[in-house]
Structure 1
């Protein structure tokens, strides 16, 4: 049993370093800048370590042996005890600012180039993650919390990118500075250096002790950040529901609870990170005591002592930066893992390797023995067989839950059926690329969605290369032009979040204009006139009738009056096609259709 619990070292290495190895691959396009930045870092670290050597050299050359600064008369140019000539002093002393300026330049170039690479990696990582999420099927978004996805794209990528560039830069620059500094100190006085650096390994103990705590608290911190993003996203998206139920205080308490937990996790991380530095400084203080005792015992010169002390001081920042690397890595582990867990998630619906790109289609659809469920035991569509002829209008009717909207989702390949085949012009739609399939389908749904942008851009979304004249023509065809020009800024008016500055009927007409602009050979209408008043519905229905000419139309409508002129009405019940035909025939032979028609007729009569 003990052997089974042992994890191979290579597996441990892969689990711990795996996310960083993957992150490192994002450096490849910018490798020249990375290399140049790291070379600058190496040079900066080397110069940083040689400063004590330069100070000692300058001091020995400028000050005569056995003298102190108080005994020197800089103006005295002759005599056995005089220092070097003033011009020699100036040139030798210039070594100090020369080294400091060179170190500053290389440090700046190191920081600039690695930061440039860092921000470009962040851009690439976010773009790839967002594009990958957009490639996921609807089933993924049905289960995922959009707030957490937002946190992954915005926050986790940033934390992972910071880990990659800051750690990679410090791993090259700071060790060189430490090694160079130690070599210089040992060359100046090996006994002094060994005495003061004796406690250096002890400084690593706090790093090891608090590293695990930071990893655990950091993971909890990032997870709670995702939970907080969920509350924010849902609260803003559902603000109408929140206000209608007077639940503002409840939402505020939920957010406050999440914020409090986030605060506590952040404090755990900060406490573990900040305690390391004082502990290291405390241990280093004992090294200073040893250094003072050494100077007292061996009576070393003031110049050499000053150079040695300055060298030890210069070691402080590199050692501090190195001590933080394991802590940064522990904190960033959760973020990097979250990002790559999403990137590694392959879409359940993908294009076939030999998928064809549609250049055009007639619009004929054939459903053969289609069965589909959303994961539950009950099928949303069961044993569906239907032939949709090109350039004709079909209507799907049935009670709620009959499977009508599911049929439209299957045509768009939002989902793939568990059984059966859907063919477009005789070709299995699974062998057609998803983008080209959907480019040939126009959609207007009952849940109108408009972007927080101008009216013009919302219509243009239907076809991005459309001209202004084509956009205006589509708006006129959808009977939207008149109310658009009545807006304060016409087509440049902002519609608000999800179109909140427009009425429901106006939103629906813009959605129809967007579909009209697309001019696709197949048109799917899911309650396309549900948000319209009687007058608007009449106008839109006339526009849709003109649009339907020469196209394949599949419409879902609870108002049977809008689909009575369809070439074929398909009656669905419990996911199955129970009958299909013209209105008059169905009224005679289909009990389900007759019941739907009579219920709606009586409802309309009472309403009138």
Structure 2
């Protein structure tokens, strides 16, 4: 269930809201603009807290890393001993030296296996924690955030970018650390074998580091650009797949494919430039590295001829040179992975640093127990973020007493759904007070506030699990008997039992294997099982036929008698059952009363009743 709650965005347009979450998105946009200027791998430092949670495993990994590096360097010493000492005394000690070489190789193999296991295990553990932490952050961000940041782009950071960091932690970091230790240890041993030749080798280092850092910066910038381009393509693909029926119905397959292909090509073009830069960097490093080593080895051969170095020492120097040169070259390759992971981590960090505007105060007020089921809105002015000039509510006031059923009626864009969003504290009003059971929702924990509500939205969003899991989404601890009972009340038991596996049948992504009416009845069952004191119904029976609507309405009537209910409705049958009807227009209350009272007064409600309820 990784998708963001889908019922939020579709109805924004109806409230006259063009976009929201400006502050959060602006923070991310500014951070994205600064990425090109960043020249370090400091974003990877964000992984340190995750690594410290598993420092014992990290210490074991470092231990075996040191041993495996020591084992590989020790091979050069045993090889030198075999050459210089193995042929003495008619080769009597040759077998012994080769046994030592074999033992060295066995130790190296075991140490390498343990190194790989512990380094990879630690990396995978850190990545698992990072995934969980990022998903936790994603779900705490306000609904307004997702009105501007496409879900596909968020998921790209949760998948593609984390995969790049995973490659670094599970593969590249082990490879890079081993090569770094080999380079340092090998350099020390080279100086022991021949300080003069080692000095000549070190003269080539600046020529190696120059391309490494010069091209490394460019590779990192291009990596971030490629990831941004690909994230855009994934975002568009997600939208197209999610609305596949609409795409096909309007014959827009070719257009969607062309647009996605263009986005992929832009990402490929950027990646191609990065690949060329990295290839040139690798070529320059190899030429400088092996050219320098060849020159140094020629000088070493002259020392052997002159008797200033033994053949075994030259062999050891050759092996160490190869190890060190290979390590430097491998570090150049690993640096590219580090740059890619740093760019990915920077994108991840943007989400991790995004702070939700709706959060619990430092010392939240506790809502009274047992709950009364009273809600109140007083002199509320509210405009969605990003459109302060277009108010969704203007001086709106409403009090709903415990157990009362209130219907909100008005034209599209009047602010009815906005009332629900403020009660659920998806947003806070600019002025005025929203309270639940006498407590200002801004002073309480949003989770505690939302626990008092059961919400049935018009879109009836479901998840890809079974019918049982979807109903239990309302209350995870609900027993199977309770689930069956609420399914029966919502007139959903019949079609659920008819499914191949009954309540255990997978419903497909967002329950698309069900009809609109079936999805809506499941959503009603999910709300009923929650046993919340306040019920919010947003056109809860709009997708039902007349027969099923009458049956479900009976279930809702029983539920309404037990709790406070706010209903957004256009159907006469629903409105007539309300204790009070609140008529809204242009974000304000223009009238309220019973059906007969409002009809008698004429005005907006009477006109809506004549237009919308004539068939009823």
TM-score normalized with structure 2 length: 0.88
Counterpart in the other structure of 2:73 = 49
Q: 2 CA distance for matches of 1:32 and 1:274?
A: 38
Q: 1 CA distance for matches of 2:425 and 2:324?
A: 62
Note the C-alpha offset of 1:452. Answer: 1.3
CA contact (8 A) 1:49 1:178 kept: no
Q: 1 CA distance for matches of 2:159 and 2:174?
A: 23
Q: Tell me, what secondary structure is at the counterpart of 1:83?
A: helix
Note the C-alpha offset of 1:590. Answer: 4.3
For the pair 1:363 / 2:370, whether they are aligned, the reply is no
Counterpart in the other structure of 2:579 = 567
More displaced, 577-586 or 106-115? 106-115
Counterpart in the other structure of 2:148 = 143
Distance 1:296 1:599, change over 3 A: closer
Q: Tell me, what secondary structure is at the counterpart of 2:576?
A: coil
More displaced, 315-324 or 404-413? 315-324
Larger radius of gyration: 1
Q: Tell me, what secondary structure is at the counterpart of 1:563?
A: helix
More displaced, 173-182 or 526-535? 173-182
**Per-residue deviation, residues 91-142 of structure 1 (Å, max 9, x unmatched):** 3332212222222322222222111111111111111111111111111111
CA contact (8 A) 1:360 1:440 kept: no
More displaced, 140-149 or 306-315? 306-315
Note the C-alpha offset of 1:172. Answer: 4.5
What pairs up with 1:228-247 in 2 under 5 angstroms?
Answer: 228-247=233-252
Counterpart in the other structure of 1:503 = 515
What pairs up with 1:473-512 in 2 under 5 angstroms?
Answer: 473-512=485-524
Q: CA RMSD in A?
A: 2.2
**Per-residue deviation, residues 557-606 of structure 1 (Å, max 9, x unmatched):** 1112321121100011100011111111111124011111111244x17x
Q: 1 CA distance for matches of 2:202 and 2:74?
A: 17
For the pair 1:521 / 2:527, whether they are aligned, the reply is no
Q: 1 CA distance for matches of 2:301 and 2:400?
A: 100
Note the C-alpha offset of 1:339. Answer: 1.1
Distance 1:343 1:295, change over 3 A: closer
CA contact (8 A) 1:451 1:458 kept: yes
Q: Tell me, what secondary structure is at the counterpart of 1:382?
A: strand
Note the C-alpha offset of 1:396. Answer: 0.3
Q: 2 CA distance for matches of 1:337 and 1:31?
A: 23
CA contact (8 A) 2:571 2:613 kept: no
1:259 alignment partner, one of 246, 259, 264: 264
CA contact (8 A) 2:365 2:439 kept: no
Distance 1:13 1:42, change over 3 A: farther
For the pair 1:594 / 2:606, whether they are aligned, the reply is yes
CA contact (8 A) 1:381 1:576 kept: yes
1:352 alignment partner, one of 358, 361, 382: 361
Note the C-alpha offset of 1:374. Answer: 0.8
CA contact (8 A) 1:48 1:181 kept: no
Q: Tell me, what secondary structure is at the counterpart of 1:394?
A: strand
TM-score normalized with structure 1 length: 0.90
Note the C-alpha offset of 1:169. Answer: 4.2
Q: 1 CA distance for matches of 2:77 and 2:331?
A: 23
Q: 2 CA distance for matches of 1:466 and 1:229?
A: 37
Distance 1:466 1:293, change over 3 A: closer
Q: 1 CA distance for matches of 2:475 and 2:177?
A: 50
Note the C-alpha offset of 1:436. Answer: 2.0
Q: 2 CA distance for matches of 1:265 and 1:595?
A: 59
Q: Which has the higher contact order (CA 8 A, sep 6+)?
A: 2
Note the C-alpha offset of 1:292. Answer: 5.1
Distance 1:96 1:211, change over 3 A: same
| Structure 2 unaligned blocks of 5 or more | 1-35
1:409 alignment partner, one of 397, 421, 424: 421
What pairs up with 1:170-181 in 2 under 5 angstroms?
Answer: 172-181=177-186
Runs of 4+ in 1 over 4 A off after TM superposition: 12-15, 164-172
**Per-residue deviation, residues 518-550 of structure 1 (Å, max 9, x unmatched):** 121110000011101111111111111111112
Note the C-alpha offset of 1:316. Answer: 2.8
Q: How many corresponding residue pairs? A: 574
CA contact (8 A) 1:372 1:419 kept: yes
